[in-house]
Amino acid sequence: MSGGCVYGRQARNRCCEGSLPASRSFLEKLTADLAVSDQVTFTGAKERPYIQEHLSDFDLLVQPSRYEGFGITVIEAMAAGIPVLVSNVDGPMEIIGEGKYGSYFTSGDETDCALKIKEIKEKSIKAEFRKHLEESRVYVNNTFSIKSTSINYCDSYFNN
């Protein structure tokens, strides 16, 4: 997972903030300014085995991008049955089926983001929410697997 924050059942939230040192220092300062440093761990970029081992520990992936080409972290979370909250930018919105398979908020609107996190938390205890997560997991695994992506790519390339 190259970017985004995941919120977990464990005592601390984890942010995999990507590889930009400026981002990390900004985020560390922000958590200190907000007096939440004791609730957040910055893990840095992690390799695939770490992600596979720990992804199911989390309750939510938030990807608050202002610009995002695709969003593999969103797919990884959905494939693991984790609910996702993305900003309403092209790549992530396509992945979540324009809101059918995940939640979104207005890009750059932190109030909207916070309200959607609260909404997801409230819905997460309901059985229909877990059913929706399973539908989302199946959708993303069928749509974005290596096999289906290869078939779609070849179909597009050879049939156009």
CA distances from 46 to 16, 53, 96, 97, 128 (A): 7, 11, 24, 27, 32
Q: Assign domain 5-112+119-158 to a CATH class.
A: alpha beta
Half-sphere exposure of 90 (CA within 13 A, CB side): 4
Q: Which amino acid is located at 50 in the chain? A: Y
- Mark 116-139 as b/e (b = at least 16 C-beta within 10 Å): bbeebeeeeeeeeeeebbeebbeb
One digit per residue, the tens of pLDDT, for the chain of length 160 reads 445 555 554 444 555 555 455 678 888 898 899 998 888 888 777 887 888 788 888 889 999 988 888 888 899 899 999 999 999 999 999 999 999 999 999 999 999 999 999 999 999 989 999 999 999 999 999 999 888 888 888 888 888 6
Please state the φ and ψ torsions of residue 40, each to the nearest 5 degrees. Answer: -130, 135
CA 66 to CA 53: how far, in whole Å? 29
Q: Kindly list the domain boundaries of the chain, sorted by start residue.
A: 5-112+119-158
pLDDT at residue 41, as a whole number? 80
Q: Among the residues of 8-145, which ranges form H helices?
A: 21-33, 48-54, 72-79, 90-95, 110-123, 127-144
